[in-house]
């Protein structure tokens, strides 16, 4: 029998599932904090890019491969979680803790044992592999505690990830003078604290651990058979084409536009921190709005707004005054990530309850594979045509909106 969202079994009240809503909010806050601490491993090497290039005698492009190695490890890790069923066969809290501990170890080995780019890539790849057990598993933890407010709760998690992305730019602008191995090792310490928080918290009562012997791909097939899940996937994939490519080129957009000359006191890194970091506020605002208007309305509105911002930047970057250009980038930075937790919330609500972990993991795997392609194309095009390369970000929102609309229309016909 094919599973559908309407066939989701009701939650049977138990002593743990009847806890007050305040405790659920506390749990979500703890998970969000642990997510911030754990995902600090993701971009920890970014704060030492210049020192690494100088010490290892490699180019900036080669140092950039370190970020690519993390993405590659994350993709392989999420695929493994999804296709083997690990994401739903073990307690989410145990997976999170084990991944954070291993990630902290590999990150520390990168800081203190890497002698050059080759072994540095290996350690960063392993860090990315571990992050697959932190980010999507953290989303499953949220669903296990607060299924009735998934959109708002996941918004807090993605807000923390956004702040973690912006943090290296902020540290660079502040001019932290600590030796780079200590700076990177600080992320390992934070990940250990995040692991301790989740170990103490445990799992929520609303999702079962899968005990059946069915093949893990069965749950994925059931998920993709649901039109509303496919619609959410289409929107998420279009969003991912734009998001990480935008985050990657933000410093380039700032440095090569009139902003750099108009606001020299802020610095390129300071402005990049603001443009990326404001996405955390966008996530939180979107989460609050989802409680009133629903995740679908918020996700589609944010995706459309970010697409419009991309078009406006590509058309008018040379004509807008610096203040107007700064405002446009800030709005873009807030909108470009605000749809991410809402599409994830839609996916988690429409997939089989025993395949939430696998479904979120496969969405992350495909989505981050898309980011690798998008980043490569956008950065290559930027070297040729400069700021007009922003046009290449537009297809993501357009295809995401079209795909979501077609899938949803088929359901309603």
Query: CB count, 10 Å around CB of 395?
Result: 15
Residue 383 is assigned to a structural domain of this protein? yes
Q: What is the mean pLDDT of residues 97-121?
A: 95
pLDDT at 4 over 70: no
Residue 313 is assigned to a structural domain of this protein? yes
Domain that holds residue 386: 21-412
- pLDDT value at residue 175: 52
pLDDT at 402 over 90: yes
Residue 53 is assigned to a structural domain of this protein? yes
Given pLDDT bands bounded at 50, 70 and 90, which one contains residue 172?
low
Residue 403 is assigned to a structural domain of this protein? yes
- pLDDT value at residue 169: 63
Q: What is the mean pLDDT of residues 389-413?
A: 85
- pLDDT value at residue 90: 83
- pLDDT value at residue 382: 84
- pLDDT value at residue 193: 95
Direct distance between the N- and C-terminal alpha carbons of the chain, in angstroms, rounded to an integer? 22
Question: CA 225, CA 209: separation in Å to the nearest integer?
Answer: 22
- pLDDT value at residue 140: 84
Q: Which residue from 293, 228, 185, 206 is spatially nearest to 27, judged by alpha carbons? A: 206
pLDDT at 10 over 60: no
Q: What is the mean pLDDT of residues 179-191?
A: 86
- pLDDT value at residue 192: 96
Given pLDDT bands bounded at 50, 70 and 90, which one contains residue 220?
confident
> Which residue would you say has higher pLDDT here, 137 or 171?
137
Q: What is the mean pLDDT of residues 82-110?
A: 91
Average pLDDT score over the chain:
84
pLDDT digits (tens, 9 = 90+) for 38-52: 988 887 786 677 788
The pTM of this model reads 0.77
Q: What is the mean pLDDT of residues 319-337?
A: 95
CATH number at residue 330: 1.20.1250.20
- pLDDT value at residue 13: 42
Q: What is the mean pLDDT of residues 277-290?
A: 92
Residue 3 is assigned to a structural domain of this protein? no
Given pLDDT bands bounded at 50, 70 and 90, which one contains residue 412?
very low
- pLDDT value at residue 16: 43
Q: Which residue from 278, 281, 273, 282 is spatially nearest to 254, judged by alpha carbons? A: 273
Of 109-118, 330-339, 343-352, the one with minimum mean pLDDT is 343-352
The 10 Å CB-count burial string (b at 16+, else e) for 54-80 is eebebeeeebbbbbbbbbbbbbebbbb
Q: What is the count of structural domains for the chain?
A: 1
Residue 10 is assigned to a structural domain of this protein? no
pLDDT at 229 over 90: no
Query: CB count, 10 Å around CB of 288?
Result: 14
- pLDDT value at residue 174: 65
HSE-CB at 232 with a 13 A cutoff on CA atoms is 27
pLDDT at 404 over 90: yes
* Matching residue, tokens 């610096």: 322
Q: What is the mean pLDDT of residues 312-336?
A: 94
Q: What is the mean pLDDT of residues 174-190?
A: 78
Residue 185 is assigned to a structural domain of this protein? yes
pLDDT at 177 over 80: no
Given pLDDT bands bounded at 50, 70 and 90, which one contains residue 219?
low
Residue 14 is assigned to a structural domain of this protein? no
Given pLDDT bands bounded at 50, 70 and 90, which one contains residue 17?
very low
- pLDDT value at residue 15: 43
> Which residue would you say has higher pLDDT here, 250 or 332?
332
């Amino acid at each position: 029998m094919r599973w559908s969202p309407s066939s989701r079994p009701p939650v049977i009240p138990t002593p743990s599932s009847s806890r007050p809503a305040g405790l659920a909010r506390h749990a979500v806050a703890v998970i969000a904090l642990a997510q911030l601490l754990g995902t600090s491993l993701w971009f920890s090497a970014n704060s030492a890019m210049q020192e690494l290039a100088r010490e290892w005698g490699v180019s900036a492009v080669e140092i950039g491969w370190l970020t690519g190695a993390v993405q590659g490890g994350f993709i392989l890790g999420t695929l493994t979680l999804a296709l083997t069923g690990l994401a739903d066969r073990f307690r989410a809290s145990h997976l999170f803790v084990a991944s954070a501990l291993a990630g902290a170890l590999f990150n520390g080995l990168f800081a203190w044992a890497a002698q050059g780019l080759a072994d540095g890539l290996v350690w960063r790849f392993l860090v990315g592999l571990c992050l697959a057990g932190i980010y999507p598993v953290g989303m499953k933890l949220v669903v296990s505690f607060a299924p009735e407010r998934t959109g708002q709760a996941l918004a807090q998690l993605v807000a923390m990830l956004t702040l973690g992305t912006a943090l290296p730019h902020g540290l660079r602008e502040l001019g932290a003078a600590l030796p780079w191995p200590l700076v990177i090792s600080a992320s390992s310490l934070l990940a250990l604290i995040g692991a301790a928080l989740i170990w103490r918290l445990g799992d929520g009562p609303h999702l079962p651990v899968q005990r059946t012997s069915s093949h893990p791909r069965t749950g994925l097939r059931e998920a993709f058979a649901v039109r509303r899940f496919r619609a959410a996937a289409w929107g998420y994939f279009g969003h991912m084409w734009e998001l990480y490519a935008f985050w990657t080129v933000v410093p380039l957009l700032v440095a090569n536009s009139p902003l750099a000359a108009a606001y020299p006191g802020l610095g390129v890194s300071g402005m990049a921190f603001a443009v990326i970091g404001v996405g955390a506020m966008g996530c939180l605002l979107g989460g609050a709005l989802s409680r009133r208007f629903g995740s679908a309305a918020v996700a589609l509105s944010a995706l459309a707004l970010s697409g419009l911002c991309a078009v406006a930047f590509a058309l008018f970057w040379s004509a807008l005054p610096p203040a107007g250009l700064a405002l446009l980038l800030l709005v873009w930075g807030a909108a470009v990530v605000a749809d991410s937790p809402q599409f994830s919330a839609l996916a988690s609500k429409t997939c089989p309850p025993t395949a939430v972990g696998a479904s979120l993991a496969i969405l992350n795997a495909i989505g981050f594979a898309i980011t690798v392609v998008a980043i490569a194309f956008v950065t290559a095009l930027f070297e040729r045509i400069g700021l007009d390369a922003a046009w290449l970000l537009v297809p993501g929102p357009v295809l995401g909106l079209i795909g979501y609309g077609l899938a949803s229309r088929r359901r309603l016909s």
